[in-house]
């Protein structure tokens, strides 16, 4: 569809940027903080870990001043569960003090907080006690944590995200502590999807009770699936990927329904994943205000014979093209590369038009406003003469913002855009070798160096995008 005239971005559009607690804060054991699954996971590397990260915990006022300079209208950050409840049960008042200070500093600078309540970092104590999100008790433990967040911060925070990428954490179990010994991975996946959906519903209900003026919604990671060819088997494979990877969990979170194709597929293999009627009723009542989604790339799906060998997806860990392991799920779909798109060094296809497609598919299915809460380019940035000329990141973001505006012109209500990330963070799978930020952090995976903050070229470019409310997308010449 071509538009004779594009709609402008709304006057109150939330131009933002995003981070996550365990990737930026550091201070992993200070002021009463407990050990999270991310802390435990990353202890094996003496520098690429959560002990210091980007040292945001100690430098948050400096960082918020940079956000103000950038012109951010909103900042998406997560609250570390283990700062508030170090062991999942015992309250730590010092953690509340830190986030009160951060929120107050943001509001002082005119920046709207968007709080992520869970971003992959539950207490290691809960993982050891009952397998974390695999256990029924997780629902009440999470609700306790969230109730404290609502009580302590809800007078100043108007936007909350419940769970970050609940669909991707089941695809990549190691992100949230792994599968307990003796449990089949598919059984684990559907139990975690169920537990997260029920936790999401109860947190939304709690928000309606405690903070009726607040807006709250879930977050997924969405990589639109294209058919490898126009062969019907490939078209069905692409439908399977969308339905199994994205729509099954999101239907639970937003519609209180289980996708019948997914239920039927596992029933034929002797696995009953049906939820109890009272659970579905609870999910259906808890309607979110918006859907947040993280978009980096699109996928390609092709036919995967039922008798084929299963291959679980795997990350490219070193930034050398060709290292990504495409999944094979027999009887469903197999992943493949897209010959029509460029790839970054980590084998992620760069597909700006896919963002527009994702917006239209999500809004058509769920009829809820959208928030794009992550979108960005990971790259090996170089500090040369005290500057970082990341024109490749500008190009990536420029094209994606243009497609977002086309989606708005298509009639999709989009409330905000939060590129990943505000500053360089400890990438979940690649440390500081892979950078995303508008602000460079002077450190690497081997040395902490100065941790100095340095504005990249993309910082100045995004500054103008925000100040013009998206009208100066293409003015690279003004980047300093």
Residues classed as catalytic: 165, 374
What's the rounded Cα separation, in Å, for the pair 398 and 161? 26
Q: Which residues of 331-349 are buried (b: 16+ CB within 10 A; e: fewer)?
A: bbbbbeebeebebbbbbbb
Q: Are 346 and 324 in contact (CB under 8 A)?
A: yes
Cis peptide before 421 (omega within 30 of 0): yes
Greatest extent of the chain over all pairs of C-alpha atoms, in Å: 63
Report the half-sphere exposure of 465 (CA within 13 A, side-chain side).
Answer: 31
Helix/strand/coil (H, E, C) string of the chain? CCCCCCCCCCCCCEEEEECCHHHHCCCCCCCCCCCEHHHHHHCCCCCCCCCCCCCHHHHHHHHHHHHHHHCCCEEEEECCHHHHCCCCCCCCHHHHHHHHHHHHHHHHCCCEEEEEEECCCCEHHHHHHHCHHHCCHHHHHHHHHHHHHHHHHCCCCCEEEEECCHHHHHHCHHHHCCCCCCCCHHHHHHHHHHHHHHHHHHHHHHHHHHCCCCEEECEEECCCEEECCCCHHHHHHHHHHHHHHHHHHHHHHHCCCCCHHHHHHHHCCCCCCCCCHHHHHHHHHCCCCCEEEECCCCEEEECCCCCCCCECCECCCCCCCCCCECCEECCCEEEECCCCCCECCCCCECCHHHHHHHHHHHHHHHCCCEEEEECCCCECCCCECCECCCHHHHHHHHHHHHHHHHHHHCCCCEEEECCECCECCCECCCECCCECCCEEECCCCCCCCCCCEEECHHHHHHHHHHHCCCCCCCCHHHCC
Distance CA 474, CA 401 (A): 10
């Amino acid at each position: 569809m071509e538009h004779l005239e594009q709609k402008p971005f709304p006057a109150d559009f939330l131009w933002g940027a995003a981070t996550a607690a365990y990737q930026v804060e550091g201070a992993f054991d200070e002021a009463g903080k407990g050990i999270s699954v991310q802390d435990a996971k990353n202890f094996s590397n003496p520098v690429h870990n959560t002990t210091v990260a980007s040292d945001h915990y100690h430098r948050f006022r400096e960082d918020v001043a940079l956000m103000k300079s950038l012109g951010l209208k909103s900042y998406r950050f997560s609250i570390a569960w283990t700062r508030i409840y170090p062991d999942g049960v015992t309250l730590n008042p010092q953690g509340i003090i830190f986030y009160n200070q951060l929120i107050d500093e943001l509001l002082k600078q005119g920046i709207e907080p968007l709080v992520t309540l869970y971003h992959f970092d539950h207490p290691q104590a809960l993982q050891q006690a009952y397998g974390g999100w695999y256990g029924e008790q997780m629902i009440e433990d999470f609700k306790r944590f969230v109730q404290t967040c609502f009580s302590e911060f809800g007078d100043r925070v108007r936007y909350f995200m419940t769970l970050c990428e609940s669909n991707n954490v089941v695809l990549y179990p190691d992100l949230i502590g792994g599968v307990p010994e003796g449990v089949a991975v598919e059984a684990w996946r559907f139990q975690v999807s169920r537990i997260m959906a029920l936790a999401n519903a109860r947190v939304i209900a709690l928000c309606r009770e405690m903070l009726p003026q607040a807006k709250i919604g879930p977050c997924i990671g969405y990589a639109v699936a294209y058919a490898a060819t126009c062969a019907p088997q490939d078209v069905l494979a692409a439908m399977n990927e969308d339905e199994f990877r994205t729509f099954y969990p999101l239907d639970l979170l937003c519609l209180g329904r289980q996708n019948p194709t997914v239920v039927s597929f596992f029933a034929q293999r002797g696995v009953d994943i049906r939820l109890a009627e009272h659970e579905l009723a609870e999910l259906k009542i808890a309607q979110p205000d918006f859907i947040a989604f993280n978009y980096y790339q699109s996928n390609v799906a092709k036919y995967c014979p039922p008798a084929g060998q299963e291959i679980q997806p795997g990350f490219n860990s070193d930034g050398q093209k060709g290292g990504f392991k495409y999944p094979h799920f027999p009887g469903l779909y197999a992943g493949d590369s897209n010959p029509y798109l460029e790839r970054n060094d980590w084998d992620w296809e760069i597909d700006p038009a896919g963002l527009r497609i994702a917006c239209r598919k999500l809004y058509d299915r769920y009829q809820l406003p959208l928030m794009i809460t992550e979108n960005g380019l990971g790259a090996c940035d170089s500090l040369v003469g005290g500057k970082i000329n990341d024109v490749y990141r500008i190009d990536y973001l420029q094209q994606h913002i243009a497609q977002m505006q086309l989606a708005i012109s298509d009639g999709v209500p989009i409330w905000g855009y939060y590129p990943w990330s505000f500053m360089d963070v400890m990438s979940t799978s690649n440390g500081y070798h892979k950078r995303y930020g508008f602000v460079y952090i002077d450190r690497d995976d081997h040395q902490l160096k100065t941790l100095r903050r340095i504005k990249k070229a993309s910082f100045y470019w995004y500054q103008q995008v925000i100040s013009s409310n998206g009208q100066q997308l293409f003015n690279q010449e003004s980047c300093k």
